[in-house]
Amino acid sequence: MVGKLTYRVHNANRFRILRLIVVIVITTTFQFLSAQEKTCKYCEMIYQFPNFGGEIITTKNDTLWYDASECLASVIVREFIGKKEIKTIRSMNYLKPGEWIDNSKAYYLHSDKIHSPMSMNISAYKTKADVVAQQKKFDGEILRWKDVVELVNKKWFKK
């Protein structure tokens, strides 16, 4: 009788240990995969459109990612980050994904024919020639950063 009881306890412990290992593996894998995905600090969408996006680099050198210029502008409109805390604001070059453009130098196109992740349809460009060429293809209004902030404020926040 003692032998059968010992066998059952031993198997029950094996099962508990196996369950614990499975939970640890699943949790660790999920955390690793989650860490690999950039998410927007404003809307929490996963960053998946390489032609769009923005970032704020803080005075503490933290980088805050945004999936669209609209989200980036929303942070400024809503004053989620103080002006004194911002070192740099940059947008992704629509024509060259991976290339960041300082917002003070960037040109933007607001066109319903270029669909951005947040559906306000704003894309960023490095030069005036680039944005004019895109405007000829897709129509729309050429903006500067202050205009983008005003547009987002008007469309999303001022009712």
> Which tens digit of pLDDT belongs to each residue from 50-73?
899 999 999 999 999 999 999 999
Is the predicted pLDDT of residue 18 greater than 90, yes or no?
no
Q: Quote the number of domains for the chain.
A: 2
Q: Residue 78 and residue 39: Cα distance in Å, rounded? A: 19
Q: Does one domain contain both 8 and 65?
A: no
pTM: 0.75
Q: Does one domain contain both 63 and 129?
A: yes
Q: Residue 32 and residue 79: Cα distance in Å, rounded? A: 32
Query: What pLDDT does residue 68 have?
Result: 93
- Expressed as residue numbers, the domain containing 112 is 54-157
Q: Does one domain contain both 125 and 68?
A: yes
Confidence of residue 84 (pLDDT cuts 50, 70, 90): very high
Q: Which residue has the higher pLDDT, 43 or 147?
A: 147
Query: What pLDDT does residue 35 have?
Result: 42
Q: Does one domain contain both 129 and 63?
A: yes
124 in Cβ contact with 92 (< 8 Å): yes
